[in-house]
Amino acid sequence: MSVDTEYQWQVGLERGLCQRDEAVEGFEALVVSYNTLLHHTLQLEGDYAHLNDTHTTLRTEHAKLADVGAAANLDAFVAAQKRIAELEWQVTTLKDERSDLYKAQGQHAQRLLSLTDDVRRREEQVRDLETSAKATATQMAKLQQSVDDYFYVLREKDGTIQDEMTALQLELVTKEEKLKRVEQENSQLVERWLRKMNEEAERMNDTNRQLEAERRPPPSVDQLNECLGDENYFGLGRRTSDTNQAPSKVPSIVYKELENPHHGEIHTLHVSHDGTMVATGGQDRRVKVFDSRSGNLKYTLSGCLQSVLHVWFSPTDDLILATSSDNAIRVWALDTGRIQHTLTGHIGKVVSAKFDGEARKIISVSHDRTIKSWDLYRGYCSKTIFSISSCNDLCLMDPQGTTILSGHVDNVLRVWDMQSGNCVREVTGLHDAPITSLAIAPAMTDSPPSLIPPILSAAFIPYSVDHTHLLTNAKDGTLHILDLNTFESVGVLRAEGYRPGSNWARAAFSADGHLVAAGSADGVLFIWNTRTFEVQARVKEHTSPVCAAFWDASGQHFFSAEKDQLVCFWE
């Protein structure tokens, strides 16, 4: 089929359909309008019918009403009126009667209520009486009990009085013993005095010998000594060589007790390197320096605004520093007793600080998690290191302070390079609690200490390069001795009942490194032997937590301070 024909018949069909629709189209409008009209018409018809209905009903009603009006009778009306009045009267009388009855009912109810109240009150009275009877009975029983008790107490007191008597007798005996001992001591002292005199005489002889020797050309060791100069400042040097023969002693006797040196708690103590002075610091914001022999107060150094946390002598003992809760470090010159530096910059309390070997700078650690190095020539902070944990104590590994050790509250020991400010090493797993103090050991060799060249031991006794061991004290009740070459624990010191006294409880090596001392929270001082790692002695003089304990450089004297106002000098 061609397109044309297809198209053609389609056109035809379409035309047909269209014509069909055209024929129809006209009707559409017509039908619509027809329907509208039809609708209207029907509505109107309905309305009309309705109106018609209403009209007729109204008319009939009207007619009915008219009929009723006509039929209304006056007589009937009057009779009805009378009847109504009668009924109303009846209603009123009945109403009155009803109200009377209501009233009576109300009164009855009232009486019933009051009666029940009475009954209840009686019951309560009975109950009260019963309880009071019971109370009286118990009171009686109690009184009987107390009578018995008094009997018993009286008998006991009798016993105690007898006990007291025996105790007093015992005391008398002990007092007599003490007297004996004092006499003994007296004789000892006399003996010592004699010995001292002898020594002095010998020293005089020595001096004479030396004077003679000076006339000869001096030996090389003496030359070195002179080059270093100032060795007299390092009284230690002499002492070390003097006492090399005498090992450090376990403290046994308290030869001096200072009671209440501060107004308030004591926080720290330090012994000067020549052993002549002891400094303490405490809550009363003062640093006090005592003579280590007589215990006399030499200086009172004030200036701190809050409590003193840490004091430290410079290697030459001419300066002393104190760190304080007021975030500052203060340095006093001991010859004048005046403040030389006030170093501010920390934003937390400064818990520890140390001088370097030449007192040229101070390195401090603070609660604000920083370690700062202070230049004492210029008097300001030359380096700040940010640590991730706040640190409780520090130690210098070398006299220049280029490498330092810090003990942190996160139980970690860190090693810092002060030049670069980097953390060189972290020693973890040592302690299970915050580290409270660090101390570098003097040489821990069994060889005679005299083998150490006297110059080195003199100049760098606190920071000796030979001294390769570190003591760490921690809140977990253990102390570790570390080899500083390997940073591995050489030995653990622990003791039953040992518990560090505070967050900054300082432990110390003795001058020869053979002993370690640390004070416990209950006031007991523990002395360990570093060769056996055993407790060598426990000494109890203090009654409250010990905050610091130090030997002097000779190892002959020992100093300890407790929180509650007692400083003890031991020998």
Question: Residues in the site for other proteins, rule: CB under 8 A?
Answer: 1, 9-10, 12-14, 16-21, 23-24, 27-28, 30-32, 34-35, 38, 42, 45-46, 49
Minimum Å distance from CB 24 to other proteins?
Answer: 5
Cβ nearer to other proteins, comparing 3 with 227:
3
Minimum Å distance from CB 91 to other proteins?
Answer: 51
Residue 480 and residue 489 in contact, taking contact as beta carbons nearer than 8 Å: yes
Minimum Å distance from CB 85 to other proteins?
Answer: 51
Minimum Å distance from CB 83 to other proteins?
Answer: 46
Cβ nearer to other proteins, comparing 16 with 421:
16
Cβ nearer to other proteins, comparing 1 with 161:
1
Cβ nearer to other proteins, comparing 44 with 246:
44
Cβ nearer to other proteins, comparing 49 with 246:
49
Cβ nearer to other proteins, comparing 49 with 129:
49
Cα angle 45-49-50, degrees, rounded to a multiple of 5: 115
CA 405 to chain centre: 25
Residue 546 and residue 525 in contact, taking contact as beta carbons nearer than 8 Å: yes
Minimum Å distance from CB 97 to other proteins?
Answer: 59
One-character DSSP codes across 359-371: SSEEEEEETTSEE
Residue 475 and residue 434 in contact, taking contact as beta carbons nearer than 8 Å: yes
| Cβ contacts of 376 within 8 Å, gap of 6 or more | 331, 341, 359, 360, 361, 362
User: Strand 422-427 to strand 319-324: parallel, antiparallel, or no bridges (unpaired)?
Assistant: unpaired
CA distance 524 to 537: 10
Residue 281 and residue 265 in contact, taking contact as beta carbons nearer than 8 Å: no
Minimum Å distance from CB 33 to other proteins?
Answer: 10
Minimum Å distance from CB 2 to other proteins?
Answer: 12
Q: Which DSSP letter does residue 334 get?
A: T
CA distance 38 to 475: 110
Can you give the C-alpha Rg of the chain in angstroms? Answer: 55
The H helix count followed by the E strand count for the chain is 5, 28
Minimum Å distance from CB 96 to other proteins?
Answer: 60
Minimum Å distance from CB 28 to other proteins?
Answer: 5
Instruction: List the structure tokens of 74.
Output: 């006056």
Cβ nearer to other proteins, comparing 19 with 160:
19
Cβ nearer to other proteins, comparing 42 with 189:
42
Cβ nearer to other proteins, comparing 20 with 425:
20
Cβ nearer to other proteins, comparing 7 with 386:
7
Cα distances from 363 to residues 268, 371, 384, 554, in angstroms, run 18, 7, 10, 26
Q: Which DSSP letter does residue 477 get?
A: S
CA 386 to chain centre: 22
CA distance 327 to 187: 52
| Cβ contacts of 446 within 8 Å, gap of 6 or more | 531
Minimum Å distance from CB 69 to other proteins?
Answer: 32
| 272 residue type, one letter | S
Residue 239 and residue 540 in contact, taking contact as beta carbons nearer than 8 Å: no
Cβ nearer to other proteins, comparing 30 with 70:
30
Nearest to 398 by CA among 370, 435, 427, 358: 358
CA distance 425 to 431: 16
Cβ nearer to other proteins, comparing 30 with 211:
30
One-character DSSP codes across 393-413: EEEESSTT-SEEEEEETTS-E
Residue 571 and residue 249 in contact, taking contact as beta carbons nearer than 8 Å: yes
Cβ nearer to other proteins, comparing 2 with 169:
2
Residue 377 and residue 360 in contact, taking contact as beta carbons nearer than 8 Å: yes
Minimum Å distance from CB 62 to other proteins?
Answer: 23
Minimum Å distance from CB 36 to other proteins?
Answer: 11
Residue 419 and residue 462 in contact, taking contact as beta carbons nearer than 8 Å: no
Minimum Å distance from CB 61 to other proteins?
Answer: 21
Neighbouring CB atoms inside 10 A of 537's CB total 14
DSSP bridge partners of 324: 308
Cβ nearer to other proteins, comparing 16 with 497:
16
Minimum Å distance from CB 7 to other proteins?
Answer: 12
Neighbouring CB atoms inside 10 A of 535's CB total 17
